[in-house]
A and B are shown apart, each in its own frame.
Chain A
Amino acid sequence: MSDQDLIELLKQGDEQAFRKLVETWQDLVFNTVLGMVQDFQEAEDLSQEVFIQVYQSIKQFRGDAKLSTWIYRIAVTKSLDWGRKRKTKKRIDLMKSLIGFGDKDPQPSEFVHPGVVMEKKESAGKLMKAMQALPDNQRVAFTLVKVEGLSYEEVASIMETTIKAVEALMHRAKENLRKQLKDYYSNQ
């Protein structure tokens, strides 16, 4: 079944078509969201939200981009929104702990992506931690290229920008990561 046929069936509210869509793209969505949020439970919840949004807004999908590109965009947007909410919650929790209400959030343990081979797990853990401190657009580009294995062209299409811009984002992301990793390994 082509993407176009699938979209038409989805627009008609066909349940089997929706099931097919989820089963086709669930790993793509989960892996992208997991790379961004670095938490299994949150990644599953957010992946579900991505498909709920796909289901609710498929009628507005005009077909300007590929279906997968559109789904990637929703996954990235949801992950960034989650990150912003989490930052706000952390600030509120910190304020509460400062004035004596509630406890300070414990530091999250280092996340290791399940697809990393055993001998690289430690260094990948440090890299994933450093990625969390990157500016949003650099983190999106780096995650899509490194975790999802997309080409610069595909990333440019998802981020609605040029390939040159993605190259620049990747360059800056790597520079920032080098600085953070240098700090980490120097203080070890």
Chain B
Amino acid sequence: MESKNLHNKIEESLSSLDGVQRAAAPDFFYTRLSARMEKELTTPTWIPFGKPVWLIATLLVFLVLNTMMIKQTKLSKSSGSDANSGSSLQSFAAEYELSNTVNY
């Protein structure tokens, strides 16, 4: 008896949408839609960086470029400092007429 009752409830629920009336769109739907389109479609969309995905991508590109630049600078410094440090210092001293003689 109880299972028959349960079965009836389930079937009643399953058929409860039979012959349902179509819900109507809210009043002034077109007015609100055209106002939204006016606002959204006339706003300039030329700034692609507004979206988070573009922001993150741009930041990553800057990060990679910066890392590469730092590495490059370090490499050129370390290779340049060994070979040319003496001569470059001498030429710098000569250019600015610096000498290590002390006049008292």
Identify the A interface with B (CB < 8 A).
Answer: 19, 22-23, 26-31, 34, 40, 44, 47-48, 51-52, 55, 113-116, 120, 123-124, 126-128, 130, 146-149, 174, 177-178, 181-182, 185-186
Contact = CB atoms under 8 A, between A and B. Distances in A.
Contacts of B89: none
Interface stretch (B7-15, B51-59, B68-76, B92-100): B7-15
A127 B23 contact: no
A177 B6 CA distance: 14
A22 B22 contact: no
A177 B14 contact: yes
Contacts of B9: 123, 181, 185
Nearest to A43: B23
B30 interface: yes
A40 B40 CA distance: 22
B37 A52 contact: yes
Contacts of B36: 48, 52
Interface residues of B, number: 24
Contacts of A31: 22-24
Given A30-B29, A44-B26, A181-B13, 19 more contacts: A26-B29, A26-B30, A27-B24, A27-B25, A28-B22, A30-B26, A31-B24, A52-B33, A52-B40, A113-B20, A113-B23, A123-B12, A128-B17, A147-B20, A149-B20, A149-B22, A178-B14, A181-B10, A185-B6
Given A27-B24, A28-B22, A115-B21, A123 B16 contact: yes
Contacts of A116: 16-17, 20-21
Contacts of A19: 30
